[in-house]
Amino acid sequence: DVKVTQSSRYLVKRTGEKVFLECVQDMDHENMFWYRQDPGLGLRLIYFSYDVKMKEKGDIPEGYSVSREKKERFSLILESASTNQTSMYLCASRTIRTGDRGYTFGSGTRLTVV
Amino acid sequence: QKEVEQNSGPLSVPEGAIASLNCTYSDRGSQSFFWYRQYSGKSPELIMSIYSNGDKEDGRFTAQLNKASQYVSLLIRDSQPSDSATYLCAVIYNQGGKLIFGQGTELSVKP
């Protein structure tokens, strides 16, 4: 089975800090995604990457950036954390090589900004 | 704005009954359709994918797709308390496109 690993399950950071959320997948998937999930708002796409070194803005990229220097790793960066970035962050990956195009999600990082 | 709509629920069914979850989507160009299950505090787990009109069965789960009506549904037969979760409908609009999620339907199966 594909494994998508997010480095932290819970994280507490201070306002203004630079925050790095790491995601690693072990099945050579081309595409990787970062979502945030908030009550009443569902899952919203922040950034995605079709392949290494590539990145595309999702629906809510403001205040975030990403890095994908290696195929297996996709990092989400909060340049200057703010309290409205308190949320559950979910990383996902998928391959386009097979007929099943579903995403596999990591276990999530619950970030609290104080 | 491409949209995926679900009733938020909660949907409550007795143990052993059939649970029916529904989803509509706005863009006729949609190609791939998915149902995810999410337990409280956990990440979404893919349970069904469907790409062509008709039914697809996997154990107690059946996904139904009607592209003409822009409608996709999930039936859970012999519902169990362990099926209590939020079910997310998701759609991809083109081959390389991003996954768009509905708001999710909360299902509660009562013993």
pLDDT tens-digit series, residues B41-79: 899 999 999 988 999 999 999 999 999 999 999 999 999
Interface check for B92 against chain A (CB to CB < 8 A): the answer is: yes
Beta bridge partners of B100: B91
Mutate to test the interface with A, among B1, B7, B99 (most CBs of A within 10 A): B99
Residues of B with Cβ-Cβ distance to A50 under 8 angstroms: 96
3-state secondary structure of A46: strand
Spatial contact of A78 and A19, defined as CB atoms under 8 Å apart: yes
What backbone torsions phi and psi does residue B83 show, to the nearest 5 degrees? -80, -10
Residue A100 has pLDDT above 70, yes or no: no
CA distance B69 to chain A (A): 23
Angstrom distance (rounded) from CA A66 to CA A85: 15
Q: Which two tokens stand for residue A105?
A: 């999600």
Angstrom distance (rounded) from CA B26 to CA B16: 33
pLDDT at B31: 82
Interface check for B32 against chain A (CB to CB < 8 A): the answer is: yes
CA distance B110 to chain A (A): 24
Q: Which two tokens stand for residue B9?
A: 């629920």
Residue B95 has pLDDT above 60, yes or no: no
- Count chain A–chain B contacts defined by CB atoms under 8 A: 42
Spatial contact of A31 and A52, defined as CB atoms under 8 Å apart: no
CB contact under 8 A, A107 and B43: yes
Residue A76's closest CA among A17, A19, A28?
A19
Burial of A53 (0-12, 13-18, 19+ CB in 10 A): exposed
